[in-house]
Structure 1
Amino acid sequence: MKKIVCAFIAGASLMLAGAAHASPIGFEDVATGGDFASLSDLNPYAGLSWGSDWYAGDESIDGFANGAHSGSNFAVNGFGDAPMNVSSAAGFNFAGAWFATPAGASDKAGWINISAYDALNQFIGSTGNIAIGDSYQWVAASFSNVAMLTITRDSGWYVMDDFTTVAAAGSVPVPATPLLLGIGMLALGLGRRLNRRG
């Protein structure tokens, strides 16, 4: 019984540690005031450098009532035709993001493609062309040690939310540390109690 309880606690600790590693960027702290706000003006925003055509918006903007996957803010591709870039000199691990097309846009993207490059500008991988529509869908990427992401599309508008980075293996974000410490102390206490009974 003691081994089962210890295995359960260890498994729960690992699951909580893994969940704590994910860091979605929801753009909620960007002041939009019912209009588009340039993300590149905030660089580095959320520890990343955003290309000049990235904007944050909120659902009060005409045609963007479905713009956010969570909360009320989102990121949107800008007014140029160049690929959208997100970069970091330190490198980051990218899990994916949620994408949709704005319901009120007359020119909507039909697909997006996310490609990743390392610090030497060597190709890491690509999601391939992923079809998107008015309802949000998760586009998984799982790219490690990324220096730059490029997001291309056929044409038109798309919105993105909950851009998710993942901490490197072995590192535990500060908010997760007290939780894991508490679970470890609980496991020690239960172990001692079971040893006294046995």
Structure 2
Amino acid sequence: MKKTLCALIASASLMLAGPTRAGVLGFDDVNTAGDFASLSELNPYAGLNWSADWYAGDNSIGGYANAAHSGANFVVNGFGAQDMSISSATGFNFAGAWFAAPAGAGDKAGWINIRAYDALNRLIGRTGNVAIGGSYLWVAGGFSNVASLTIARDTGWYAMDDFTMTDATAVPVPPTPLVLGIGLLAMGLGRRLNRHG
């Protein structure tokens, strides 16, 4: 009984430490080498499928010095594409992303509009038209269990960075000290039970 209890506690702490698809996508792991790189060629990138006109770039590209919110990389709607999409077979929770109109683009987007759809392609939320400019602006989504997002704009180009999401099916990963504490507690309890048993 005592060994079973210790095994259960140890197993629970390992399950809590399991991986999840979560966080902020800064696109800094995409090799752009001073030019634009197709993000769809990396599908699924970060567990998501990116439509064909998403391109990753870095702030060394002429006219795009303002295009990265953090780090050096960002993504743009290539060739000024109208409706860009991001999808996932497993669903995700979309918190939001940072948007700006790149300084060097000839035709700059004046607004973006994000629409979220579920697995049955039903609209589950939208931001409405959100005005963007040369400085980054956080556009909040707050959409849960999203199968796909569509990002529309009025005209021209926009840059997006720090795309923030969590996996809709994952249990949130606890902080490392909590997992470590549970493991130490299990070890201590096991020693104590072995001394008294």
Contact 2:80 2:155 in 1 (8 A): no
Identity %: 66
Give the match for residue 82 of structure 2: 82
Contact 2:21 2:170 in 1 (8 A): no
SS of the residue 1:142 aligns to? strand
Give CA-to-partner distance per residue, 1:109-164, whole Å, 9 cap, x none. 00000000000000101000000000001000000111100000000110000000
Give the match for residue 178 of structure 2: 180
Give the match for residue 17 of structure 1: none
Alpha-carbon RMSD: 2.2
Give the match for residue 45 of structure 2: 45
Gaps of 5+ in 1: 1-19, 188-198
Give the Å deviation of 1:172.
Answer: 2.3
Equivalences for residues 1-80 of structure 1 within 5 A: 23-79=23-79
1:167 to 1:33, Cα distance in 2 relative to 1, 3 A: same
TM-score under structure 2 length normalisation: 0.78
Gaps of 5+ in 2: 1-19, 186-197
**Structure possessing the higher radius of gyration over alpha carbons:** 2
TM-score under structure 1 length normalisation: 0.78
Q: What number of residue pairs does the alignment pair up?
A: 167
Give the match for residue 102 of structure 2: 102
Aligned counterparts of 1:121 and 1:21: Cα–Cα separation in 2: 22
Give the match for residue 162 of structure 1: 162
Contact 1:21 1:172 in 2 (8 A): no
